[in-house]
Structure 1
Amino acid sequence: MNKFAAVILAAGKGTRMKSDLHKVLHPIGGKPMLFHLLDSFEELSPEHTVVVAGDRHEQLRDAVTDRNVTVALQEPQLGTAHAALMAKDALSGFEGLVMVCFGDCPMVKAETVRKLCDAVDDATKVAVLGFRPADTLAYGRIIASDDGIVSKMVEHKDANEDERACDLCNSGVIIAHSKDIWRLLDGVGNDNAQGEYYLPDVATKAIAEGSKVVAVETSPDEVAGINSRAELAQAEAQWQQFRREEAMAAGVSMKAPDTVFFSWDTELGRDVTIEPHVVFGPGVKVADHALIRSFSHLEGATLGEHTSVGPYARLRPGAVLEEGAFIGNFVEMKKATLGKGAKASHLTYLGDATVGAGANIGAGTITCNYDGYFKHQTTIGERAFIGSNSALIAPVNIGADAIVAAGSAVSRDVAAGELRMVRAEQMVKPGWADRFHDTMKKKKAAQKSAAKKDSQK
């Protein structure tokens, strides 16, 4: 493929989103929609990427600080062709293909862009991306022959009845060689219903010069624009459905796929089983043969082979389950490692902790890791047994094969093989409960009798 540069238009105000966040920074699968585009185009190794910003341009500059992206400013906003021209200085000296697209269409795939690039040659000056939606709504139209040769492009507001009857719609993605696109953009006028400089007029201008313009078609789902919260939700649903299908094709079992939600970077091994109502936040890696049971939430966690999680478990960033480790219902982990074959079956919090292989953590155990100012570490040795309802007050070390008796509050290290029991001595008073019940029953009966007499007066 020829040298390639991408220009992403993101200067609109996004008023329908009703948000303080720039429209193209709203996430899909936990990743800003702009980054979906950037990552897709990265597969084509662009020499330059320019994002044209207007409203809230500071947010975009901050968002792409760590990326090889130039932000150009469009002020004032005079239309999409005018916006594309704002990238000219940033691409000064570049010779190759220039693609212009919209930042609120995050599903455009690299292979589609490659097809557009391949369509531009010595005979074809411009290639545009079209689609055929079920409802053409207010999309601009591409008037083209059966072999894709474009004779006219027209905005919906400016189209006549015959042109609106055409179902080939304009996605807004356009490609031309750098030696042509700036000249064509400079020649675009604003004699239209909106008084704006329209990007599709680049193709119209090329046609008027006698140049060949072609349309490449793609799926409507790939070029769906996002302008509102409802459309964002639709895009999220579309992305999740694709990701579920991809996971199942790779060997993941899901009993109710529509109830499972992935992050953009979720990594799943083969023969992983995911039960209904599981949510993956960013940064989760799951090895082969793991089981994730219903109503569990995972973020920033790493699961080894043959591990089991949930139901109703929460794994926060830094949670690691080594091979064969098990956590059950209502267990929460944060910056904690559960060693090979270790168990925390229910009602447990493990924070800033390392649990050795084969250890057993009883129900109701918590690692008290925070003193109000600093976090502290708890280390539990191999094969240690922590009894139910124990509080391990960090920093503290529990040795290998040690036993902490149920109900203990441990604030000092426990040696290997030691039993630690931290309880108050039990007090026994024979007959006390019987006497208490007799006294209280008599008192209650006296109250009822007095109340009855008062009501009869």
Structure 2
Amino acid sequence: MKLGIVILAAGQGTRMKSRLPKVLHTLAGRPLLAHVMDTAASLQPDRMVVVYGHGGEQVREALDAPELQWVEQASRLGTGHAVQQAIPVLKDVDQVLILYGDVPLMRPGSLQSLVEKAASGFGLMTIDLDDPTGYGRILRNEQGQVQGIVEEKDATPEQLQIREVNTGIMLVEARSLERWLEQITPQNAQGEYYLTDIVALAVAEGVEIAVAQPAEAVEAEGVNDRLQLASLERVYQRWQADALMRGGVTLRDPNRFDLRGHLHTGLDVSLDVNVVVEGDVVLGDNVSVGANTVLRNVRVADNTVIRENCVIEDAIIGPDSAIGPFSRIRPGTELVGGAHVGNFVEIKNSRIGLGSKVNHLTYIGDTDMGAGVNIGAGTITCNYDGAFKHRTRIEDKAFIGSNTALVAPVSVGEDATIGAGSVIVKDAPPGELTLARGKQVTIRGWKRPKKET
């Protein structure tokens, strides 16, 4: 059986009060539609179609992929009309699964259950809610068989008491879907073509409607405003936190953790509160991450301690290193191992050798640093001349005194010492003390300016 998947993503999302199309608002750092596309792809469909409308070109630019086909719904005339736009590109499939671009938490296992139960050719995903307000109600006969769906605005008072509701997700035999869509009419309170009307048409033809329900009702919740988006964000983050803890990671407070990408961990990893993980992050054995730290596309080797309030991105951190608090490690940086990077230190596009220390109030940019180097507080590598970047080289066991400026391109030799307060513009030889200070002068009788009273 060939499976086609249609993702409806044409809604304007007026309640989001945004210029951004609703399906491009993010959950865990990725567009809502991207989550749905990933879930759909996990079923290995033969055809995947996205029906777009409001802001469609923006959506396509953000999420286009070779396996996708895009169909425009130029006029928003309801869900039935939206699916009808996709029919021409579904001629070669046997079954059609209909999903929604603003329902990001549906799990692959729940959809697989629907596929397996829909042997009759028609499967419907429903949920039971204590408060079904806003949802279409599932109508059943005395034998419990599904007879149809009534939208809330068209429901009678008795029907409004029904707690089993429609999620909108359904699996339908392709040829029957095309035929039924041609029969529905906009004779309802909204004046739209309801996709749900095909259920009654199927029943009239004697088709049995199979029903599946997701493992958790929240899987079927959609996003209509920013409150709902925030609510689903916390659900999704808690799912990820639970999976990490089951895998052996210590989270000091799983409700204050955000994973916006992929995290791979070794043994005995510990994350304090408000850690944010973005992109692809790998943490080795015995890695500890302090509170309020951001890790973005980082590889951290075993036995490394990252203290509070650090930002580390696109970097490689070697084993037995200590970083922070208040350190910023920028893209292109590698700490070979055993490094100490302390408070208010920024490192960019540099290689820090084994056991080197950069502990206080320092900027290291475009630098090749050897092993056992000590960088004093307030040191700056002056790597930019206003037009071009230049590199600094600091060889093994060099000692750079506090408040030094190294004006690149420049080299400091092995075991060299740079006196505090120096501005180094020429290469410093190995094993020697190099100083570059102005003569100290005292101006007698000078008066500090004062404001007139």
Tell me the TM-score normalised to structure 1 length: 0.88
Cα distance change, pair 284–97 in 1 and its aligned pair in 2 (3 A): same
**One-letter amino acid of the structure 1 residue matched with residue 219 of structure 2:** E
| 253, 268, 271: which one aligns with 2:268 | 271
Amino acid at match of 1:34: L
Aligned pairs (5 A) from 1:379-394: 379-394=368-383
- The equivalent residue for 2:437 is 424
Residue deviations 1:208-239 (CA, integer Å, cap 9, x gap): 11211122122220000101111111111111
Q: CA deviation at 1:428?
A: 8.1
1:414 aligns with 2:412: yes
Amino acid at match of 1:267: H
Which residue does the alignment assign to 2:37?
38
The 8 Å contact of residues 144 and 215 in structure 1, kept in 2 or not, is answered as no
Q: Is the 8 A contact 2:36 2:100 kept in 1?
A: no
Aligned counterpart, 1:100: 98
Q: CA deviation at 1:320?
A: 1.7
Larger Rg: 1
User: 2: CA distance between counterparts of 1:80 and 1:328?
Assistant: 53
User: How many matched pairs?
Assistant: 427
1:357 matched to 2:370: no
CA contact under 8 A between 1:149 and 1:215: conserved in structure 2? no
SS for the counterpart of 2:267 is coil
Please state if 1:214 is matched with 2:204: no
2:386 corresponding residue in structure 1: none
Residue range with higher mean Cα deviation, 137-146 or 70-79? 137-146
Task: Quickly say closer, same or farther: Cα 1:7–1:303, change in 2 above 3 A.
Answer: same
Partner of 2:395: 399
Q: Is the 8 A contact 2:4 2:93 kept in 1?
A: no
Alignment partner of 1:172 is 2:168: yes
Relative to 1, partners in 2 of residues 1:147 and 1:346: Cα closer, same or farther, differing over 3 Å? farther
**In structure 1, what is the equivalent of residue 228 of structure 2?**
231
Question: What is the CA deviation profile of residues 398-456 of structure 1, one whole-angstrom value per residue up to 9, with x for unaligned ones?
Answer: 00121112221122201122222325257487xx99x99xx99xx99xx9xxx9xxxxx
Structure with the largest fraction of strand:
2
Kept in 2, the 8 Å contact 1:332–1:349? The answer is yes
Equivalent residue for 1:308, pick from 301, 305, 310: 305
Larger relative helix fraction:
1
Deviation (angstroms), 1:300: 2.2
| Aligned mates of 2:416, 2:61 — CA distance in 1 | 55
Residue in structure 2 matched with residue 341 of structure 1 by the alignment: 338
Distance 1:169 1:362 in 2: 60
Deviation of the 1:51 alpha carbon? 0.6
Task: Give the 3-state SS of the residue equivalent to 1:20 in structure 2.
Answer: coil
Aligned partners of 2:106 and 2:309: how far apart in 1? Answer: 36
Q: Is the 8 A contact 1:267 1:286 kept in 2?
A: yes
Whether the 8 Å CA contact 1:148–1:215 is kept in 2: the answer is: no
Contact 2:351/2:369, CA 8 A, preserved across alignment: yes
- SS for the counterpart of 2:86 is coil
Question: Aligned in 2, Cα 1:56/1:350: closer, same or farther, shift over 3 Å?
Answer: same
Pick the aligned partner of 2:257 from 237, 256, 260: 260
Pairing partner for 2:109 from 83, 108, 111: 111
Q: Which runs of 5+ in 1 are unaligned?
A: 370-376, 452-457
Q: 1:136 deviation in Å?
A: 0.6
CA contact (8 A) 1:148 1:214 kept: no
Amino acid corresponding to residue 272 of structure 2 in structure 1: E
> Between the two proteins, what is the percent identity of the paired residues?
27
Matching residue's letter, 1:403: F
- What TM-score does the superposition give when structure 2 sets the normalisation length? 0.89
CA deviations on 1:263-322 (whole Å, 9 max, x unpaired) are: 132333332101112222333322222110012122222211211112111113x22211
Q: 1: distance between equivalents of 2:263 and 2:3?
A: 30
Contact 2:335 2:353 in 1 (8 A): yes
Residue 134 of structure 2 is matched in structure 1 by 138
Q: Which residue of 2 aligns with 1:372?
A: none
Q: What RMSD in Å do the two structures reach over aligned CA positions? A: 2.3
Displacement, 1:345?
A: 2.1
Query: 1:406 & 1:182 partners in 2: Cα distance?
Result: 76
Cα displacement (A) at 1:90: 1.6
Q: Distance in 2 between matches of 1:340 and 1:147?
A: 70
Partner of 2:319: 323
CA contact (8 A) 1:405 1:419 kept: yes
Cα distance in 2 for residues equivalent to 1:9 and 1:232:
18
* 5+ residue gaps, structure 2: 384-390, 423-435
CA distance in 2, matches of 1:67, 1:309: 40
Moved more, 176-185 or 139-148: 139-148
